Structures are given as structure tokens and as C-alpha cells.
Amino acid sequence: MAKYIFITGGVVSSLGKGISGASIGKLLQLQGFKVSMLKFDPYINVDPGTMNPYQHGEVFVTIDGAESDLDLGTYERFLDVYTSKTNTNTAGDIYRTVINREREGDYDGATVQVIPHITDEIKRRFAALKDECDISIIEIGGTVGDIEGLPFMEAARQFQLENKKEDIFSIHVTLVPYITGAHELKTKPTQHSVNKLREIGISPDMIICRTEYHLDESLKRKIALFCNVRQDCVVEVMDAPSIYYIPEALYKQKVDSLVMEKLEIMSKKKFDKAWFSKIKSFSKFSKTVKVAVVGKYADLKDAYKSIDESLNIAAADLKVKAEIDYLAAEDKDLIKKLKKYDAILVPGGFGNRGIEGKIKAISYARENKIPFLGICLGMQCSVIEVSRNLAKLKNANSTEFDESTKYPVIKILDEQKNVKYRGGTMRLGNYKSEIKKNTLAHSLYKSHEIEERHRHRYEMNPEFVGALEKAGLHVTAYHKGVLPEIVEIKNHPFFIGVQFHPEFGSRLMRPHPLFKGLIAAALKNKKN
Ligand code: GLN
């Protein structure tokens, strides 16, 4: 069975198409269907791996090493599934495929054009997972009317024409703004946006309206009439205290039933509402722990989306609320500010900015026995910190920041030395590590062998392992016995650094052991 749900967006960007898609996916999964999600981003970058997080938020890494859009993370967490390279598509990657094919002479002398060659490749990718699931949810990034988005919209139009009407459900997500002066919700932007979509030849089956206030029936009727959709298919999504409330909000408006009706499919199992109740229980915790994330992008939470989610999920599992603050590593008053926190996390990152601040924060956590988790660059900074302050290797550094350092305790991976292109060339995706017994890592993972996602070019220099172990920093996991993957300090309530990215592995009902360990230690360390 191949059924498709297309999600497009209108009026403005950042309306949460990904969250709407993942929520509908969740409902259909609870109805017993196998759902997959494909993201199509109309920008020219081959993937978001080279983009500044300020532009794009976090880069989510799939287990097979794709550097992808953060929506795939939302999707993995909502549905507890794994995505792969197939789930993430960009205009850049699609054009590259077509151009490579042209260079190989596969187009047989034809003039290669947007229609049909680019649109054919997009359509091929729309159907890429059709044999692996019951329903593919296809999200087209950007906003209707964008120049770059046009080939994707055109491909979606053709795809509808070439498939049976009961196999396609089209959803348009728009904004219904509230005009304070007039005390009124306005439908005009939605009307214009749907008109634009219909000009392209796509008539939505459902309109999801992002709104600050409830839409009354008369407003829904107006949208339905002007936009040529059924009134019960005008659905509202209000801002919620947590994105995990959205599936239930959509369920109450019968979104899953409406989708199944049009797609002519019947529920495969009794709908289990346990997921909704579990989410509701999250809001009832009164106890809190305060976690400081010391990073570079302190004012953009989306840059650390999976870390944020992982901390919240772990806290909810321990029946507490995580109060997470993002502190700028460059802040002169950083150490003063850190005093009120029960735990400190230093996340991954690239480049020199803020490094010394991160190292100071780690000294503070180590000396004051504050629970600490270092992720990727955060782990590398903990190695630098211990090298300088305990092993007395003066000015020890990573060669990423000081190429001529006397003590290169972090150095470039051998396989990275001759890498010329920046995009997609890091050590990416899942790699195995073997954890030593009687270590913090072993007690958290309860396993000897683990597999975690990576995204880095540098590693802890094995030449310094001996000196650092003597100074008190122990390597407690290795990849293939050679690449250090986890470091720990004993005689500390919780001090652990990992070369990989555990944040991508957290699931709503399955918190990640490292985050759970951090929050549990934070609870013990609680200041007040
Ligand atoms: N910049 C470091 C490296 O490339 C760390 C990368 C990261 O934190 N993802 O090794």
C-alpha cells in the first residue's frame, strides 16, 4: 500500500510543519500504521551540515551519517524510529544527482531541464520509502511562493496527477494572525496562501491554522469557503506548553480519522491513549533541577534542540522538571552565573570562539563536584582542562585551535588529514564503542558494547592517554581498542565526556542513560 501525505506551508516560515507532520505521523502510528517521513528542503546546500546553526538550528545526524534537518530529530523522538539518508533531501542534492547523471551521459542527448528532469528526480524521491511503510509523510520546506520551492510544488502536483486521488492527502499549514487593535483573527493571509497553492495546481484537503486564539466555527467556515476545503478539515494548532501536546490536540479535531477517510484506509488497531496520559503527567512535576548548557549559540535554543529535548525527557522520567539555561561561553561573568546550577553540560561545536570559557566552566564543575556532561567538543574541552590543570601540560590544546601547541591532546583523526571538501566528510553516524567494566559509563549503559552517532574531525590523542590517566582522567570506552570514546573522573559525583552525540538517541519513552544519569546526579546535588 502506498499512501502519501504532503505538507506544505504558507504565510510565514517556522510554523512548525515538522511538528504537525510528526504529530499526524504519531496519530497514524497509534492507529497501527507504519509511517515514514521525508523532508524536502528547497535550498541549494547539499545538506545543512555546512550551515551556521543560527541559520538553520541544529544539524541532526542520522545513524547512517546524514547531516540533516532538525525535523528528522522531532520525527525520531515522536515515533521512536530511525531515519536515514533517504529521509533527507535538498534541492542541492537533487540537482547534484541530476547533474552527475548528465555528466555520465545518461540523458541521451536531451536538454536537461527543471521539468521533467529535476521534477522526475524529486518524484522518485517522494516514493523512495513506499515499499517500507504504509504512509509516507512528505514535508516540503519553505513557504509557498518561494522561487526555490517551485520545482518541489510542481513535482507534488504531477505526483498527485499520476497517483490515485485516494492515495494522496494534502495539508497546508498557515498562520491566522491576531490583530490586537481590531481584536480579530485574520483569515486573509491563509486565503492568499491557499490561492497561491491552487495556482500551482494543488488543492489542499486540510488546512492547519497556527493561531494564538481558538478559531470559532464562523471563522472556520470562512476559511473553508474561501479555500475550498471541508469545514471539519480546517484545523487549529494553538501554541502549547510542550510540542508533545500537539498530537492530542489534533486527535481531538479528528485529524487522523479525516486523513484515513480520504485515504480509504481503516485503523489497524485499537487506539491507545496511554501516550497522551504519559505526556500529561509531565506537566505535574513540582520539583526542578537547574541545568546550565555552556555553549556558543546561547540565544538560539534550536541550535541545541536535541540536547534540550534529551534533558527534558530524562528529567520527566525522573519525575522532575529541568530548568535549562543556555549560557554564553564567552560571558565574562560565566563562573559567577554558574553558581546556581545543579549540573553543567558543555555541548558540541566547532571553532575557537568560547573555548576558554568552556574550559573554565569545566574546571569549575570538576573542582566543585558539580555533575558534568561533555559532548563531543565538550568532551575534548574536558581533556584540555585536565591536561592543563591536573597533568600540568602547560597550554595543552586541540590542534583545531592551536596547530603548533606543544601538547596536542586533541588532534585531527588520521582519516581526516587529507579531506579537501568540508561537506559530509566528518566521521559521521553510528560507530561502536566498547565500555570498560566498573566505570560510570558501564553503570549507566549497563552494557559492554554501545553504538552512538558521531560528527567530528578531531579525537583525543592516544599518546597522552597515559599521562591523563595518571592525572585522574580515565578513558573508559574505546572504538576498536584505539579511539578514545568516553572519559571519566573518579571521586567526582558525575564527570563524564563523550566523543559522540548521545542527544540524537533520546526517545520520549526511552530517555538516554547519560542524560538520565546527569539529571539523577543533579538531583542529588540540588542547591535548594
Ligand atoms: N570541532 C570538534 C571536532 O571536529 C568537535 C565537533 C563536535 O562537537 N561535533 O572534532
CATH of residue 265: 3.40.50.300
* CA-CA-CA-CA torsion sign (455, 461, 462, 464): negative
Instruction: Give the model confidence (pLDDT) of 168-212 as tens digits.
Output: 999 999 999 999 988 999 999 999 999 999 999 999 999 999 999
Q: Do 329 and 294 form a contact (C-beta atoms < 8 A)?
A: yes
Q: Are residues 332 and 209 in the same domain?
A: no
Q: Which residues contact 203 (CB under 8 A, 6 or more apart)?
A: 170, 197, 228, 229
- For residue 457, how far is its CA from the centre of ligand 1 (angstroms)? 6
Q: Using alpha carbons, list the distances in angstroms from residue 329 to 94, 172, 352, 389, 411.
A: 38, 40, 11, 19, 22
Residue 393: pLDDT band with limits 50, 70, 90: very high
Of 263, 278, 293, the one marking the end of a domain is 278
Q: Do 315 and 79 form a contact (C-beta atoms < 8 A)?
A: no
pLDDT at 306 over 80: yes
Of 230, 261, 278, the one marking the end of a domain is 278
pLDDT score for 284? 79
Q: Are residues 22 and 150 in the same domain?
A: yes
Q: Are residues 254 and 340 in the same domain?
A: no
Q: Are residues 246 and 355 in the same domain?
A: no
Highest mean pLDDT among 54-63, 184-193, 411-420: 184-193
Separation between Cα atoms, residue 506 and residue 289, nearest integer Å = 19
308 pocket-lining for ligand 1 (C-beta < 6 Å)? no
Structure letter (DSSP) for residue 407: S
pLDDT score for 466? 96
pLDDT score for 1? 67
CATH of residue 477: 3.40.50.880
Which amino acid type is present at position 227? Answer: C
pLDDT mean over 379-383: 97
pLDDT at 452 over 90: yes
354 pocket-lining for ligand 1 (C-beta < 6 Å)? no
pLDDT mean over 401-406: 95
Q: Which atom of ligand 1 is nearest to the CA of 351?
A: 1
- For residue 9, how far is its CA from the centre of ligand 1 (angstroms)? 34
Catalytic residue from among 236, 376, 456, 512: 376
378 pocket-lining for ligand 1 (C-beta < 6 Å)? no
Q: Are residues 406 and 493 in the same domain?
A: yes
Min mean pLDDT across 383-392, 416-425, 487-496 is at 416-425
The stretches of 163-245 forming alpha helices (DSSP H) are 188-200, 217-227
Separation between Cα atoms, residue 18 and residue 234, nearest integer Å = 18
Q: Are residues 121 and 258 in the same domain?
A: yes
Q: Are residues 258 and 309 in the same domain?
A: no
Domain span at residue 494 reads 285-524
Q: Is 501 a catalytic residue?
A: yes
pLDDT at 528 over 70: no
Quote the cell numbers at residue 336.
Answer: 559567577
Q: Is 469 a catalytic residue?
A: no
Of 262, 278, 294, the one marking the end of a domain is 278
Separation between Cα atoms, residue 21 and residue 173, nearest integer Å = 10
- Total domains in the chain come to 2
The number of beta carbons lying within 10 Å of the beta carbon of residue 242 is 12
Q: Is 117 a catalytic residue?
A: no
- For residue 459, how far is its CA from the centre of ligand 1 (angstroms)? 8
Quote the cell numbers at residue 498.
Answer: 563523550
Min mean pLDDT across 226-230, 239-243, 439-443, 449-453 is at 239-243
Tell me the Cα Rg of the chain. Answer: 25
Choose one of 61, 414, 456 to mutate for the ligand 1 pocket test, by most ligand atoms within 8 angstroms of C-beta: 456
Q: Are residues 509 and 368 in the same domain?
A: yes
Q: Do 519 and 289 form a contact (C-beta atoms < 8 A)?
A: yes
347 pocket-lining for ligand 1 (C-beta < 6 Å)? no
Q: Are residues 174 and 264 in the same domain?
A: yes
142 pocket-lining for ligand 1 (C-beta < 6 Å)? no
Q: Are residues 235 and 363 in the same domain?
A: no
Residue located nearest, by CA, to atom 8 of ligand 1: 348
